[in-house]
């Protein structure tokens, strides 16, 4: 049974991804602050090494890594707070980068032709008021993933991004109905994207069925324009 490391596994999209991967026969290693598997706060960048060496490595070879954990910091740019910005980047960018480092080392050690999937956001491509900081963190991940693919593709390790459109999750729960409807009007289907539609794309990129796909950003967004 192949081990898939999944961050942000306890709710919303992460929980949906976890359930689908389990149904497909994978052994999912979940990591989040409220995970039923491994509890970890990704604001702690310096603890990533110990997390891998003392816990993850003992679970066996890692065949796939889904980086889904994220922290939203929403505000207009003129109100930007450096402490909140750094905290978000710790969770959304720096910890995933460090964890990718150890996942790659694990794949190299075990000669695993693995797959890495980062979950981004449509906000990195289509502007939304108040999401500049959050969008910038997701844009960083997209650039990191593309270069990861270029660097390690020659030995069979793939890295891709799934870029979801607007979904009704806890991260969007503060929006009013008016704001939601305005966002829906920006996609071609003019309706809310389902979480299961995104999780299916993640599952596909983790699987061997997508063996020819790497360095890509796959938009699952109901045709957001």
User: How far apart are the C-alpha atoms of 29 and 64, rounded to whole Å?
Assistant: 10
Residue 168, classed as helix, strand or coil, is coil
| Per-residue b or e along 138-168, where b marks 16 or more CB atoms closer than 10 Å to that residue's CB | bbbbbebbbebbeebeeeebbbbbbbbbbbe
Residue 40 annotated to the active site: no
Matching residue, tokens 């299961």 = 196
Residue 132 half-sphere exposure toward CB, CA atoms < 13 A? 9
Q: For the residues of 76-145, what is the DSSP string, one character each?
A: -GGG--HHHHHHHHIIIIIHHHHHHHHHHHHHHHTT---EEEEE--GGGTS--TT-HHHHHHHHHHHHHH
Catalytic residue among 26, 52, 65, 134: 134
Measured CA distances, 74 to 41, 80, 187, 199 (Å): 20, 9, 21, 24
Q: Which residues are catalytic?
A: 134
């Amino acid at each position: 049974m192949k081990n898939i490391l999944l961050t942000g596994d306890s709710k919303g999209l992460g929980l949906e991804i976890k359930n689908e991967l389990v149904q497909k026969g994978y052994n999912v290693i979940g990591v989040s602050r409220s995970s039923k598997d491994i509890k970890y706060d990704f604001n702690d960048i310096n603890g990533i090494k110990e997390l891998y060496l003392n816990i993850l490595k003992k679970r066996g070879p890692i065949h796939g890594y889904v980086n889904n954990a994220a922290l939203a910091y929403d505000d207009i740019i003129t109100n930007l707070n450096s402490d909140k910005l750094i905290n978000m980047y710790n969770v959304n960018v720096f910890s995933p980068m460090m964890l990718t480092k150890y996942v790659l080392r694990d794949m190299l050690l075990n000669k695993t032709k693995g797959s890495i999937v980062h979950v981004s956001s449509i906000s990195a491509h289509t502007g939304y008021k108040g999401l500049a900081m959050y969008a910038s963190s997701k844009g960083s991940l997209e650039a990191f993933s593309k270069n990861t693919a270029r660097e390690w593709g020659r030995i069979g390790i793939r890295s891709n991004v799934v870029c979801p459109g607007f979904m009704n999750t806890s991260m969007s729960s503060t929006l009013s109905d008016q704001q939601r409807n305005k966002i829906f009007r920006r996609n071609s289907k003019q309706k809310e994207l389902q979480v299961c539609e995104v999780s299916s794309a993640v599952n596909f990129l983790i699987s061997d069925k997508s063996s020819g796909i790497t360095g890509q950003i796959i938009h699952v967004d109901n045709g957001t324009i």
